[in-house]
Structure 1
Amino acid sequence: MTDMTPIADEAATRFAFSLLRSAYLDLAQTLLRIEAEPARELLQAVEHRIAYRLGSLAQDESDGAPQETALAIAAGQVRAVLRDAQGR
């Protein structure tokens, strides 16, 4: 990666998250229209895998409060996207 200022790095991260969020939601909607039940199972499997990974990261990063706060914020944002994708 290139060397960026913290503000530029944060802006790039937010933009990347926004793009991925839109793509994931579009994909989920398309899958749900094609065949709802298998799509829900797939989306739930993805959600469980992400929740497991976030839990693993939280255990690995248990020594620093700022990192835990950043992880909690990121986890909340990811979980919101996953809920939106399933229409919950």
Structure 2
Amino acid sequence: MAELIPADESAADRLAFHLLKDAYCDLAAVLRGAKPDAADALFFGIDKRIADSLARLHASGAEGPASQEIAVAVGMKIQEVLDQAHGRADPPAAEKR
């Protein structure tokens, strides 16, 4: 496989994120419908794991001088997905099915 140029890598990352977001939201909806209590416990654990990982990234500076900004940007992007998937927010009109 040929190496991708940076713009193509960014496109691949965006597509991968979009596909994972859709899959996560679909799975979360099924779990919320079938086992609401289990879903709440699982979602709490997922939220905590993400928050802890982003806090470690920020504290360690693992992504260089912009680690704090990167951690905040990632957190905001992921929070939108989690809120939608966990039923805490309505998806934007363009994303409603």
- With the shorter chain as reference, the TM-score category is 0.7 to 0.9
Q: Percent identity?
A: 32
Structure 1 runs (4+) greater than 6 angstroms displaced: none
- 1:69 match: 69
Normalised by the size of structure 1, how large is the TM-score? 0.86
1:32-59: CA deviations, max 9, x gaps?
0001111111011111111101111111
- 1:57 match: 57
CA contact (8 A) 2:55 2:71 kept: no
CA contact (8 A) 2:28 2:85 kept: yes
Structure 2 CA distance for partners of 1:2 and 1:58, relative to 1, 3 Å: farther
Normalised by the size of structure 2, how large is the TM-score? 0.79
| Relative contact order higher in (CA < 8 Å, ≥ 6 apart) | 1
Higher helix share: 1
Flag structure 2 segments of 5+ consecutive residues without an equivalent. 89-97
Partner SS for 2:76: helix
Flag structure 1 segments of 5+ consecutive residues without an equivalent. none
How many residue pairs get aligned? The number is 87
**Structure 1 residue 46 corresponds to structure 2 residue 55:** no
C-alpha distance in 1, partners of 2:29/2:36?
9
Root-mean-square deviation (CA, aligned residues, Å) is 1.8
